[in-house]
Chains A and B, each alone.
Chain A
Amino acid sequence: MDNKPAAVEMRNITKRFGSVLANDRVNLTIRRGEILALLGENGSGKTTLMNMLSGIYYPDEGEILIDGRPAVIRSPRDAFDLGIGMIHQHFKLVDVLTAAENIVLGMPGRLDLRKATEKIRAICDAYGFDVNPKQKIYDMSVSQKQTVEIVKVLYRGADILILDEPTAVLTPQETDKLFAVLRSMRDDGKAIVIITHKMNEVESLSDRVAVLRQGAYVGEVMTAETTAQDMTNMMVGHAVTLNINRPEPVNPHPRLEVKGLTVRNEDGILKLDDVSFIANSGEILGIAGISGSGQKELLESIAGLQSTEKGSISYIQDDGTREELLGKDPLSIQDMGVALSFVPEDRLGMGLVGSMNLADNMMLRSFRAGHSIFTDRKSPYKVAEHVVRDLSVNTPSIGTPVRRLSGGNVQKVLVGREITTAPSVLLTAYAVRGLDINSSYTIYDLINRQKEAGVAVVYVGEDLDVLVELADRILVLCGGKVSGIVDGRRTDKRELGLMMTRIGGADNG
């Protein structure tokens, strides 16, 4: 397979951010007619490396060869001229414009939308994309937006495509469709790089795997000749086990009862429609659904952060007495003696304060304690030391602003703080989003330990493989409605995928 022509050769690429070495003399070859999976833990420098290829950063040292010729990529425009297109994790589209308008945006020359639309249609036909060029972006689903991003780079003549975690927001069915398209582009002779954390995707899609660890290039293997276990070991640097535990729930009893919960957002759009369920102590209740199906509103309603239209949320004490949580703010919920912990989706925008250090972030939950007008700085410091030790958080010091930590470590800090308060209900939203496999397993392990301690865990997840392995029961949301609640031990991801897109799944939908 090595006889395939190299589209890109990166030689001895080094990039520093301040004192942080993001890439350390990395060598990487991307070949035409091949899908390369770029693997590595969080903060291992994958995205940085690819950003240098797409002109966002400029390497401090090293050189890049495109088709065997030295090239200098100073800006995204240079990258485009060289045929390099990157599809970022966060889409860069203008909501109020149509697909076609977004695609031609910033192109030099005279604007001819009709001709552009024809060309877009031709690209879509060639690869089997389903895009209506006249549709506005705000009317589109996440997967449609992503398709527009891909068409955008193809339209500009890219034949080297880089996709940064493209499947994070897709359902299994949408993922299959994307992969089919990527395969046909590969067969068309394009060079494709995909960054992902999901091993099953690497195995099913890629031809070759390159691994980075702590900014350095570890090596590469042919996908056919390796296993998920081997790749993980390469990434982490030592052997890890890849099984998620699912202990049997011990003495589960109802802890949280949600009845007829209905929520409208600020624009009056129905986000949750008559949602009812019970979360038991000592059990993990998984919540599945396409992103934006009401997961965020559900958790925020329970945590007292979302204004609701009707329904009830009862917290059931050990002795059977009920407390109504609806209409209370987080402070009064805390004052009622309800130990509720919430790991929100937006870690640095909601769960933590990015510019504050670890100790000050630990203080967020506890700073009110005591009658003094001054804050107690010593105990949060100890809590921070505790969390760093127990969860092996990789940080220069307790005094480091959390913004400087990598995604996995930020999440460990947040989860660590939320569980030190000994909660009886733990709400988590996308607890492992963007985390590498090693950190993910640490988080699963922490959640399981909470479950064994009798905590009622509500786990909103996007990786169905994980939900099926981790959760005791899984509630599926579809467009704000409960599509069904299934036993995690008896379901599979096909069934969940169908329930996510149609109420009740295939049989009764």
Chain B
Amino acid sequence: MAKRNQEPLVHITKRGTLPWFVSWGIRACTIVLAMVFCGIITILVTGENPMNIYATIFNGSFGTPRRVWVLLQNIAILLCVSLAVTPAFRMRFWNIGGEGQMLAGCLASAACMICLRNIMPNWAVITCMVVSSLLAGAVWGGIPALFKAKWNTNETLFTLMMNYIATQLVAYFIIIWEVPKGSGAIGIINQSSQIGWLPMIGSYKYLLNVIIVAVLTVLMYIYLNYSKHGYEISVVGESERTARYVGIKVDRVIIRTMLLSGALCGLAGVLLVGGTDHTMTTTITGGRGFTAVMVSWLAKFNPIWMILTSFLLVFLQRGAGEISTQFGLNQSFSDILTGIILFFIIGCEFFITYKINFRHVGRKGGVPHV
């Protein structure tokens, strides 16, 4: 017979639910595989010993107590933004404006620190910072939600555009507040008086941030999984028609959820300006608004898992920075390694959901009929 007549080389079938230890086993193997693959790439491209590279990556996060604190601080901010965008994502509202909402919060905080420092006591300035930042973030998130609810505009584009507006606004105010004149930067705000700086707990500069975000994680988990609001968000996300059918006011849920989402991004802004950086630049957010999307997705929108995924991303980022300084490698090389690892992690979900069947050798009907 001229025609090829054999079963396909591979065919893909859906798996049933795997027991948790198998699926986590697959994930662990994936990470090991990713490391091995990265090692091979490293040897081929740079000639460095991959073990040294890995050791350096590890050192970048855990080398000194200070590095551990920086790691924790970075996780806290990233996790905060990730928690903020998660309710919107559960609602299938693709808020990629975490960046802009965070910047709005930063701007509000900086404004309070600069404009209120001579007329109010420290505690009042901090209160104003928190309130105004939450509001600023909420407004920044609420505007796209309002348009989505009323006129069904595309939230992805809208939130993205709001990012640029926020960046430009920040740039504008940096020029107004610049110190010294002509420098194009604000510098450290209130360096001597430390007005508007979030208080330290003991001698740990970052502990307050870490505690706030830890509490927020638990609250968010409870809110999403056990509250009536959280239930409404899930229903709206799954099917707006079902939501209307049971009398959920979809418009109201969209706006309410985005106000919350924006406000929490604003909170991340306070933690950043008031808690750690004490300054403001147009790039202060460091792309966390976008990285948060990945943190949230990788954790399947589960706040508790997000602790792990945000750790992973920050760990890789810190390690990457360390490699580039230690080995004099280009920063891009560490980005390549991060990319490879993420690709493996995301790809492994495919193998957890599906099974690949290879052609059975010598199976009846499987042998070519010539």
Q: Which residues of A contact B (CB under 8 A)?
A: 16-20, 58, 60, 63, 70-72, 74, 303, 305, 329-331, 333-334, 342, 344, 346, 349-356, 360, 363-365, 367-368, 373-375, 377
**A-B pairs with lowest CB-CB distance, top 5:** A19-B16, A18-B16, A331-B247, A330-B247, A63-B365
B8: chain A residues at CB < 8 Å are: 58, 72, 74
In the complex, are the beta carbons of B14 and A351 less than 8 A apart? no
A330: chain B residues at CB < 8 Å are: 244-247
In the complex, are the beta carbons of A352 and B242 less than 8 A apart? yes
In the complex, are the beta carbons of B239 and A20 less than 8 A apart? no
Residue contacts A-B, CB under 8 angstroms, 29 given: A19-B16, A20-B16, A60-B13, A72-B7, A72-B8, A72-B365, A74-B8, A303-B245, A329-B244, A329-B247, A330-B245, A330-B246, A330-B247, A331-B247, A331-B249, A334-B247, A349-B241, A350-B245, A353-B242, A355-B238, A363-B231, A364-B246, A365-B246, A367-B231, A368-B228, A373-B227, A373-B229, A375-B228, A377-B226
Q: What is the minimal beta-carbon distance from B273 to any residue of chain A, in angstroms? A: 31
B106 within 8 A of A: no
In the complex, are the beta carbons of B226 and A17 less than 8 A apart? no
Q: What is the minimal beta-carbon distance from B329 to any residue of chain A, in angstroms? A: 44
A364: chain B residues at CB < 8 Å are: 235, 242, 246
Which of A333, A350, A375 is within 8 Å of B231, CB to CB? A375
Q: What is the minimal beta-carbon distance from A415 to any residue of chain B, in angstroms? A: 15
CA distance A17 to B15 in the complex (A): 7
* Residues 236-290 of B at the A interface (beta carbon under 8 Å): 238-239, 241-242, 244-249
Which of B11, B232, B238 is within 8 Å of A58, CB to CB? B11
Q: What is the minimal beta-carbon distance from B30 to any residue of chain A, in angstroms? A: 21
Which of A18, A71, A374 is within 8 Å of B227, CB to CB? A374
B6 within 8 A of A: yes
Q: Name the residue in B5, B231, B364 with the highest tally of chain A Cβ atoms < 10 Å from its Cβ.
A: B231
CA distance A19 to B355 in the complex (A): 12
A363: chain B residues at CB < 8 Å are: 231
Interface size class of B (residues with CB under 8 A): 20 to 34
- Knowing A349-B241, A349-B242, A351-B242 touch, does A60 contact B234 (C-beta < 8 A)? no
Please give me the residue from chain A that is nearest to B229 by CB atom. Answer: A373
- A-B contacts counted at CB < 8 A amount to 88
In the complex, are the beta carbons of B227 and A375 less than 8 A apart? yes
In the complex, are the beta carbons of A17 and B14 less than 8 A apart? yes
Q: Which residues of B contact A (CB under 8 A)?
A: 5-8, 11, 13-17, 226-229, 231-232, 234-235, 238-239, 241-242, 244-249, 357, 364-365, 369
- Knowing A71-B5, A74-B8, A375-B227 touch, does A350 contact B242 (C-beta < 8 A)? yes
Please give me the residue from chain A that is nearest to B360 by CB atom. Answer: A61
A63: chain B residues at CB < 8 Å are: 364-365
B365: chain A residues at CB < 8 Å are: 63, 70, 72
In the complex, are the beta carbons of B14 and A350 less than 8 A apart? no
- Knowing A58-B8, A364-B235 touch, does A375 contact B242 (C-beta < 8 A)? no
A346: chain B residues at CB < 8 Å are: 241
Q: What is the minimal beta-carbon distance from B352 to any residue of chain A, in angstroms? A: 12
Please give me the residue from chain A that is nearest to B365 by CB atom. Answer: A63
Please give me the residue from chain A that is nearest to B244 by CB atom. Answer: A305
Which of A70, A71, A303, A349 is within 8 Å of B239, CB to CB? A349
B234: chain A residues at CB < 8 Å are: 353, 356
Please give me the residue from chain B that is nearest to A70 by CB atom. Answer: B365
Q: What is the minimal beta-carbon distance from B217 to any residue of chain A, in angstroms? A: 18
A331: chain B residues at CB < 8 Å are: 247-249
CA distance A368 to B229 in the complex (A): 10
CA distance A377 to B230 in the complex (A): 13
B369: chain A residues at CB < 8 Å are: 70
Please give me the residue from chain B that is nearest to A65 by CB atom. Answer: B365
B11: chain A residues at CB < 8 Å are: 58, 74
A60: chain B residues at CB < 8 Å are: 13, 357
A375: chain B residues at CB < 8 Å are: 226-228, 231
CA distance A356 to B90 in the complex (A): 13
A373: chain B residues at CB < 8 Å are: 227-229
